[in-house]
Structure 1
C-alpha cells in the first residue's frame, strides 16, 4: 500500500495508517504530529507555558495518541482533534502543577559565586576549583545514568551544536525531533540531579 500524501490526510486515513504498522506508518505519525501542532501555540498562549515546555508536552501527547490508536483505546467517540486537545490540555495542566509545587524549587541551585566565604583569595580559588571539579564529576555520573543517547545529545548541545546539527549527527528525522529528545533528556538529567 503506497501513499502519496496530500497536504493533510483525513483523520480516518491517519488512524488506519497508524494502525497498519509498516514502513509507511512513520509518515502517518509525522503527518499526525504536523497536522495538529497548532496546539503548541495555544498551550503557550492559554497556559502561559514556555514554547519548549509546550513542544515537549505536545510530543508526549502525540506519542500517547499513537499508542492509544494502536491499542484501540481511541474509540472514535470524538474527533481526533478533540481527543488530542484533551490529552494535550491535561498534560499542560500537569506541567503547571509540577512547576508550581515545591518540587520545582529543588532544582534551584546556588552557584559557588553566590556563596560568600571569608577566605584569602588563594584559598578561595582552590575551594572554587574543588567545587567545580566536584560538580563536574557529579554531572558526568548523572549523564552516565540517563543513557548513552541522551548523554550524546546533551554533550553535543553543551558544545554548542544546534538541534539541526544534532539531528544530522545522530540521524534524527528533523531538528524538531532532536529538540524534543534533547528536552526530554534534560528533564531526565534534572530529575536525576
Structure 2
C-alpha cells in the first residue's frame, strides 16, 4: 500500500528534477508486490515479472508526464492494469517466439512485425540492397542481355526491342529475353539476397 497519496505522487512526478526522482522511487516501491503476484498469476519468472513491473512503472510515469493519465482510476488500479498487460504481452511474445523457432520465419514476416517507421526504413534498405545486387548481376550476364532486359523493364515490347537492337524478329527477342532472365535468376539465387 502506498504511503504517499496519488495526488502527491502525480504532482511530485510532474515537479521534475531531484524531486521527481524521489517520487519515481516512491511510485516504484508502492506497488512492488505486483512482481510476486505476476509470478503466481501468470506463471512467469521473477525476472520477467520484475521486467514487466519496471516497464509498467516507466509507462505510468510517461503517461502522467504527458497528461494521458486522467485520474479516472487510482494509481494502484492503473499500475495493476498496465502490469497485467505487460505480463500478458510477455506470455504472447514467448508463445510467438516458440512458434517462430519451430516453424522459422521469412524476412518479410519479420519486417511486417516492426513498427511502421522502422518497417519503412528496413524495407527501403532491403530494396536498395536488392537493386544494387540486381545491377551487379546485370553486369555479369553480358551487355546484350542487360540491354534487352532494361528495355523490357522500361515497357518496350519485344517487337520494338527487335527494331532497336536489330534482331530478326520479336520471337527472337522473346527467346533471348527469357534466356537472359533465366541467367539472371540463377545469378540472383546464388547471391546473398
- TM-score normalised by L of structure 2: 0.50
Greater radius of gyration (CA) = 2
Greater relative CO, 1 or 2 (CA 8 Å, sep 6+): 1
What is the TM-score when the length of structure 1 is the normalising length?
Answer: 0.50
Larger helix proportion of the pair: 2
